[in-house]
Amino acid sequence: MNLTKSILALALLTGSAMANAADEDPYLWLEEVEGTKALDWVKARNAESQKALEADPSFKPLYERLLAINNSNERIPYVTKIGTRFYNFWKDANHVRGIWRRTTLDEYRKAEPRWETVLDLDALNKAENANWVWKGADCIEPEQDRCLVSLSRGGGDAVEVREFDIPSLSFVKDGFVLPEAKSAVGWKDRDTLYLGTDFGPGSLTDSGYPRTVHEWKRGTPWKDARKIFEAKSDDVYAYGFSDYAQGVRHDGVVRVPAFFQNETQLFRDGQLVKVPKPDDAEVGFFRDYALITLRSAWKPGKRNFPAGALVAIKVDDLFAGKDKFTLLFEPTAKRSLAGYSTTRNAVLLNVLDNVRSRPEAMLLDGRKWKRHAVPVPANADVNLYAENPDMSDNYFMTVTDFLTPTSLSLGVVTGKEHEVLKRQPAYFKSEGLVVEQHEATSKDGTKVPYFVVLPKDRARDGTIPTLLYGYGGFEVSQTPGYYASAGAGWLERGGAFVLANIRGGGEFGPTWHQAALKANRQRAYDDFIAIGEDLAARKITSPRHLGIQGGSNGGLLMGVMYTQRPDLWGAVLCEVPLLDMKRYNKLLAGASWMGEYGNPDVAEEWAYISKYSPYQNIDATKTYPPILFTTSTRDDRVHPGHARKMAAKLIDLGKDVTYYENIEGGHGGSTNNQQAAFMDAIGYVFLWERLK
């Protein structure tokens, strides 16, 4: 089940609220995203930063190298099967915004497949004088001949939705069209959509996402769609869904009261009935079974399932209260479920074992679930995903690690071998590099793992320029992978790259995430500090040569590291960050993350948030390391005001600050390969010159 299709814009504060806050915050005017004064400030900072960074002799060759990687025709064109063909969205030097294209499996097997263009975004932009960015397509099941195509102006989360006809390769005349918004929209049937969007006052939550669910009939105005469900204003959002699971359809609505909670209701005999499960558990479907992923322990009847488990039960038995559960995955201290996908007859489990992927499969034979071994290479990071959940037991398998270019293979659940379809070329020189996994001891005694990639024969005397990357939030795991830009921009130059697995992530299941929620947030920061200190203790590097990088929630991590331990880092790269945690819940989608951080408007919760909020913890008397802030004007998820205000405040205090804001790009920071290469290049140039 696709839990979120796309989601939408929210109102800024009222003038009076802005005025009151301005009395306390002299930089509040920088929150006016497209205000003339604010954009003038941005353009001036961009000009300064671009001039300084591009003047570095390493910038141009690095940018050109990264752009060549981004545009390489030897990249793996990952595909999704729609109907009988395989679809791919592709960007390169000739297709800046990209093309949606398709081919057959026989063609895909070839070194240079013949592709048929389905939709050319560059041509569409030229015809409409627009700057559309691809945000995906949702195709009706099981026919898969009509799709809802989502297009974003400049890369933000807000999208325009248009109905697309696969047989004619064209938008449907007088078909479904929804204007730009952070909408939640999906198929109910061929002539009906489940719709959540901005219907006017009261239709959005405090987080700026759809609050109501409607049924929109073909040929009628979207504004007249019949409302079938309404969530609360302080919920995160609500949406309707129709899940076609291996021939069995499940319709319902989901109310999301907090980021990691959901109340799922199914239509049963025409009425919405709440699924009997924990509110923090996710539910998906496989045939007539419910698949329930647990974030906390659950005791239905006489059963006792641990947090992190995946259980299956027939939907009718679940509603009847019968004890007919099957435990598909049971976690351990080191093993967790990273996710699953379904084929015609099996559930593919992507399992993390000490932060390395070890996939498994559960095959449904009649009414019996059987564990099925998946033949996978040893000592590699492996992930499986279904080719087409309803049509076959085929699956795609990716194999990768820090030094091995990714390969894509095709397998079948009951098979013993895989057919290699594509291999990524080597984009950087890995000879002489070695990968190690270590543990650091955090402040409370917790062992925190991390990976380090470094030159094998270089002396460990504390002088290796080292880049430590971290995230630590929202149950997102950081796993090994072939990071071509880091390889070309950092490792090849003699540096070391470190991937942190701090609490707040999902590396060891939901308990690893929950250990750093709200009042315990400091644990994630202590973990990251412990890794930095451990790197120095092992003499891999030292503070003078140790740089750190993170974006979004990882940008908040960077801000905290900058303010709490400025002595431990030689330079900081802070990307699309949250930084003003006093006001984050009032900016764009910020209110939706209060389940992660807490509510700063509640005195008891601000008491612990205030201790780490970077913007409020700047000390004019401290010496801080050089810092580069990057963000995007078109980021409608994390407000660019966070980076703007923090940078402005530090600049006025005379600190060493570099700032660059991409005028478009959304939360990803870029919309095309050129922008992505530029953003990576300025980051690596900034860090290397300060850490070498």
CA nearest neighbour of 153 among 669, 674, 666 = 666
Give 55-59 contacts, CB < 8 A, sequence gap 24+: 56/685, 56/689, 58/685, 58/688, 58/689, 59/681, 59/682, 59/685
| Dist. CA 470–CA 529, nearest whole Å | 11
Pick from 241, 341, 334, 332: nearest CA to 291: 341
Location of structure tokens 């000009």: 47
Please give the average per-residue pLDDT across 626-645, as a whole number. Answer: 94
CA atoms of 578 and 590, how far apart (whole Å): 9
Q: Given a cut of 60, is residue 632 above it in pLDDT? A: yes
**Nearest-angstrom CA–CA distance, 577 and 690:** 21
Q: What is the DSSP string of 101-168?
A: EEE-HHHHTSSS---EEEEEHHHHHHHHT--EEEEEEEE-TTT--EEEEEEEETT-S-EEEEEEETTT
User: Is beta strand 146-153 parallel, antiparallel or unpaired with respect to 159-165?
Assistant: antiparallel
Predicted pLDDT of residue 377: 80
Whether the predicted pLDDT of 600 surpasses 70: yes
Mean pLDDT value of segment 613-634:
97
Contact (CB, 8 A) for 469 and 550: yes
Residue 476 half-sphere exposure toward CB, CA atoms < 13 A: 11
pLDDT, residue 390, reads 81
Nearest CA to 182 out of 202, 159, 161, 205 is that of: 159
- Residue 193 · residue 202 · CB < 8 Å: no
Q: What is the pLDDT of residues 83-125, one digit of tens each?
A: 999 999 999 999 999 999 999 999 999 999 999 999 999 999 9
What are the backbone dihedrals phi and psi of residue 115, each rounded to the nearest 5 degrees, phi first? -110, 145
Q: What is the pLDDT of residue 19?
A: 36
Reply yes or no on whether the pLDDT at 14 is more than 50: no
Q: Which of 467, 461, 502 is nearest to 487 (CA)?
A: 467
Average pLDDT score over the chain: 94
What number is the average pLDDT over the span 261-269? 97
Told to judge if 552 belongs to the known catalytic residues of this protein, a careful annotator would answer yes
User: Residue 179: how many CB atoms within 10 A of its CB?
Assistant: 12
pLDDT tens string 205-240: 999 999 999 999 999 999 999 999 999 999 999 999
Contact 665, 671 (CB under 8 A): yes
- Tell me how far CA of residue 1 lies from CA of 118, 202, 240, 264, 553, in angstroms: 25, 27, 11, 12, 25
Single out the catalytic residue among 6, 552, 613, 632: 552
Closest CA to 90 of 117, 126, 125: 117
Distance in angstroms (rounded) separating the CA atoms of residues 315 and 301: 16
Q: pLDDT band at residue 37, thresholds of 50, 70 and 90? A: very high
Q: Quick one: residue 202, left, alpha or beta (phi over 0 = left, psi -120 to 50 = alpha)?
A: left
Q: Kindly tell me if the per-residue pLDDT of 7 is higher than 50.
A: no
Pairing of β 237-245 and β 248-258? antiparallel
The b-or-e profile of 658-673 (16+ CB within 10 A means b, else e) is: bbbbbebbbbbbbbbb
Residue 515, phi-psi category: left (phi > 0), alpha (psi -120 to 50), beta (remainder): alpha
pLDDT confidence tier of residue 667, bands split at 50, 70 and 90: low
**At CA 665, angle to CA 593 and CA 235, rounded to 5?**
20
Distance CA 209, CA 225 (A): 17
Q: What percent of the chain has pLDDT over 70?
A: 96
| pLDDT tens readout for residues 449-490 | 999 999 999 999 999 999 999 999 999 999 999 999 999 999
Mean pLDDT of 398-405: 95
Tokens standing for 604? 């008891």
Tokens of 109: 């097997």
The string of pLDDT tens digits covering residues 155-201 is 888 999 999 999 999 999 999 999 999 999 999 999 999 999 999 99
pLDDT of residue 17: 36
List C-alpha distances in Å: 658 to 12, 396, 651, 682, 683: 27, 42, 9, 10, 10
49, 430, 667, 670: which is the annotated catalytic residue? 667
DSSP secondary structure letters along 470-501: ----TT--------HHHHHHTGGGT-EEEEE-
Q: Above 70 in pLDDT, residue 430?
A: yes
16 has a pLDDT exceeding 60: no
Rounded mean pLDDT of 621-630? 98
Give the separation between CA 361 and CA 372, rounded to whole angstroms: 5
How many CB atoms within 10 Å of residue 175?
Answer: 15
Residue 407 has pLDDT above 70, yes or no: yes
- What φ, ψ does residue 193 adopt, rounded to 5°? -115, 145
Q: How many other β-carbons are positioned within 10 Å of the β-carbon of residue 51? A: 9
What's the CA gap between 547 and 497, in Å, rounded? 10
What letter does residue 3 receive in the DSSP assignment? S
Residue 76 in this model has a pLDDT that exceeds 90: yes
What digits encode the pLDDT tens for the residues 266-313?
999 999 999 999 999 999 999 999 999 999 999 998 999 999 999 999
pLDDT of residue 668: 66
**Cβ partners under 8 Å of residue 116, min gap 6:** 101, 102, 103
The per-residue pLDDT for 670 is 61
The domains found in the chain, sorted by start residue, are 35-67+431-691 (3.40.50.1820)
Q: How many helices and strands (H and E) does the chain possess?
A: 14, 37
- Give me Rg for the CA atoms of the chain: 25
Of 166, 182, 172, residue with least CA distance to 8: 182
Q: How many CA atoms lie within 13 A of 436 on its CB side?
A: 14
Q: Where are the alpha helices (DSSP H) in 164-296?
A: none
Q: What is the mean pLDDT of residues 28-54?
A: 96
Q: What are phi and psi of 110, to 5 degrees?
A: -75, 155
DSSP state of 528: H
- Mean pLDDT (whole number) for 36-61: 97
Q: Please give the Cα distance from 569 to 662 (Å, whole number).
A: 26
pLDDT tens-digit map of 518-555: 999 999 999 999 999 999 999 999 999 999 999 999 99
Q: Confidence band (pLDDT; 50, 70, 90) for 672?
A: confident
670 tagged catalytic = no
Query: CA 605 to CA 597: how far, in whole Å?
Result: 9
Mean per-residue pLDDT for 640-669? 90
